């Protein structure tokens, strides 16, 4: 159960980072009307071209996911001998 909850948290984190990456420095700009304040500085690096900040998170989550897939595929294989 704890593992499942952890997995959900990770997916949630990735989803938020992807959202951040899409909505913060892309999209239609109505000249001079984008007004934002960065309250949670953990999420972004600030410049006017705001970029995805938590690359390490992406790398870690993908690594975890790959390890889980590998583990599951090993379990699925019948043991030899």
Q: Does 4 bind other proteins (CB under 8 A)?
A: no
Q: Does 8 bind other proteins (CB under 8 A)?
A: no
Q: Does 59 bind other proteins (CB under 8 A)?
A: yes
Tell me the residue length of the chain. 81
Q: Does 53 bind other proteins (CB under 8 A)?
A: no
CA distance 42 to 2: 25
User: What element of type H or E holds 51?
Assistant: strand 51-52
Is the CB of 4 or the CB of 56 nearer to other proteins?
56
Q: Does 55 bind other proteins (CB under 8 A)?
A: yes
CA distance 39 to 50: 14
């Amino acid at each position: 159960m704890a593992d499942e909850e952890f997995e959900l948290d990770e997916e949630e984190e990735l989803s938020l980072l992807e959202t951040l990456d899409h909505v913060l420095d892309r999209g239609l700009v109505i000249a001079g009307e984008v007004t934002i304040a960065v309250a949670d500085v953990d999420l972004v690096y600030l410049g006017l071209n705001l970029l995805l900040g938590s690359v390490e998170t992406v790398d870690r989550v993908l690594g975890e996911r790959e390890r889980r897939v590998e583990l599951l595929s090993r379990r699925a294989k019948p043991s030899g001998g």
